Structure 1
Amino acid sequence: MADEGNILTDLGNGATDGNGSDTQPTIGLISQYVKDLSVENPNAPKSYQWGDQPQLDVQFNIQSNQIDGEVHEVALKVTCTAKAPQGTAYIVEATYCGLIGIRNVPEAQSHAFLFAEAPRILFPFLRRVVADAVRDAGYAPLLLDPIDFAGLYQQQMEQRRRENTQPPAGDA
């Protein structure tokens, strides 16, 4: 459904509240883009001669920032560091973002969408950016393993519930 430059997907049949206001729950991907990309190849060309398989450390972070009342920027950030006994082979840091439009969706559902579903949608594109960056640095493309964002989200929400229901330390 198009509305003053915001492109949102109508999940219903365009119902209104009788006053002409759109009341249907709506969520849509407006745009996606590389926000930041950094590739460090600190020991090239020597690192291309190293015979040891580098150890890979991959760190993920998900952030959501409200741009205005109906638009959120979801940022999926990854840092990939490959280290061998001789030193660091490469470091790739990438932030891939999506602008998500949300209208008439309860807070709990929109939070779940922003931190579980939106990262799932964005991940394949971030994965390609990272693979290309590592390949362009002179190494075999790094194909990140799929991530169960919904499962991770549920684990974090459960952990927060447990932390909030435990009695303060010192109470018997």
Structure 2
Amino acid sequence: MSDTSAPQAAVALPIQIHAQYVKDLSFENPRAPASLQPQNEPPRIEVNVDVQAAKVADNDLYEVTLRVTASGTSAGEQLFLAELSYGGLFTLQGVPQDSLHPVLLIECPRLLFPFARAIVADVTRDGGFPPLLIQPVDFAAMFRQSASAGAAAASTTPTVAPATDGSILPPES
């Protein structure tokens, strides 16, 4: 009979988070105070999320950045515009080269997203609007869509190389 009350040894995960931070945050309320008055129609809200990753150092240290843009319009006029770049520094240990892109562009943003979501909710609330609660994002679907768009140019075993825009791209064929 085994003793189930004995503590289990901690298992080190391959992802370590060193820091999370706001890289850039902007909120515009161009029509205030008129934009804060009751509207005849509900506002149209549009949210866009982008993920970028870049190797920062030779020791498997990567920066992953979530870029969130949220805008509200009513009767064709801008109510608000919120733009957030939220970053995280991650060390990936023991991640096979062929799994590097999925970990950086799916798992790392999944860890950052709740914090970025809270910042957008706070800034829209502080701007005088109801807090904008962004729905969960399927980063795996975003990755698959991006991968299928670039499948013709991607090699079978991509290596990580920083692009000029900071995103991680497969090497040129």
TM-score (norm 2): 0.76
2-structure distance, mates of 1:158, 1:44: 43
Kindly report structure 1 stretches of 4+ aligned residues shifted beyond 6 Å: none
2-structure distance, mates of 1:54, 1:75: 28
* Structure 2 spans left out of the alignment, 5+ residues: 1-10, 155-173
Which residue in 2 is equivalent to 1:97? 87
Which residue in 2 is equivalent to 1:21? none
TM-score (norm 1): 0.76
> What is the RMSD of the two structures over their aligned residues, measured on CA atoms?
1.8
Q: Which has the higher helix share?
A: 1
Q: One-letter code of the match for 1:57?
A: E
Identify the structure with bigger relative contact order (alpha carbons < 8 Å, sequence gap 6+): 2
**Residue 54 in structure 1 maps to residue 43 in structure 2:** yes
2-structure distance, mates of 1:118, 1:37: 20
Q: One-letter code of the match for 1:55?
A: R
Q: One-letter code of the match for 2:102?
A: A
Matches within 5 A, 1:6-85: 10-11=12-13, 26-49=14-37, 50-69=39-58, 70-85=60-75
Deviations 1:112-171 (A, max 9, x none): 11101111111011000000000000000000010111122123223433x359xxxxxx
Query: 1:103: how far off?
Result: 3.1
| Largest Rg, 1 or 2 | 1
User: Residues 153 and 86 (structure 1 numbering): CA distance in 2 closer, same or farther, change over 3 Å?
Assistant: closer
1-structure distance, mates of 2:36, 2:153: 50
What is the aligned length?
Answer: 142
2-structure distance, mates of 1:84, 1:94: 22
Q: Secondary structure at the match of 1:67?
A: strand
1-structure distance, mates of 2:153, 2:53: 22
2-structure distance, mates of 1:114, 1:137: 32
